[in-house]
């Protein structure tokens, strides 16, 4: 059951990166407010993905699997930080592109 938290985190992380990319590939000349909804969904997917990792870590602590925690916490911290940073950058790029599209 708890192993699915890692799969959910992976899926939601990919979704968090995919939504801004889809936003950027769309036609910016038809600047609508749909890009905002996709950005909110992207940030939500990123947040839920990070919560899944926190819950999985909590599960490992509650069962006392200290060896697994010591082996994986460095990688989890790096990947979680990378997920958040890239999600913010992609959504910021989307914001910049759509603001420029609305001014012309």
User: pLDDT digit string (tens) for 32-90?
Assistant: 678 899 999 999 999 999 999 999 999 999 999 999 999 999 999 999 999 999 999 99
The answer to whether 54 and 80 are in contact (CB under 8 A) is no
Please, where are the H alpha helices in the chain? 3-25, 34-63, 66-103
Distances in Å between the Cα of 53 and the Cα atoms of 41, 62, 76, 85, 89 are 18, 14, 8, 16, 21
User: pLDDT digit string (tens) for 27-39?
Assistant: 766 656 788 999 9
CA separation for the pair 42, 100 (Å, rounded): 21
Predicted pLDDT of residue 31: 56
pLDDT above 90 for 14: yes
CA separation for the pair 104, 102 (Å, rounded): 6
Distances in Å between the Cα of 6 and the Cα atoms of 3, 56, 67 are 6, 7, 18
């Amino acid at each position: 059951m708890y192993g699915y938290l890692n799969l959910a985190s992976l899926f939601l992380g990919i979704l968090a990166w995919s939504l801004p990319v889809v936003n950027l590939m769309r036609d910016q000349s038809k600047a609508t407010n749909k890009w905002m909804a996709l950005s909110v969904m992207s940030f939500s997917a990123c947040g839920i993905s990070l919560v899944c990792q926190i819950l999985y870590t909590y599960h490992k602590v509650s069962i006392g699997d200290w060896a697994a925690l010591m082996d994986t916490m460095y990688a989890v911290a790096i990947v979680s930080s990378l997920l958040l940073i890239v999600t913010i950058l992609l959504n910021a790029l989307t914001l910049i592109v759509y603001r420029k599209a609305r001014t012309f």
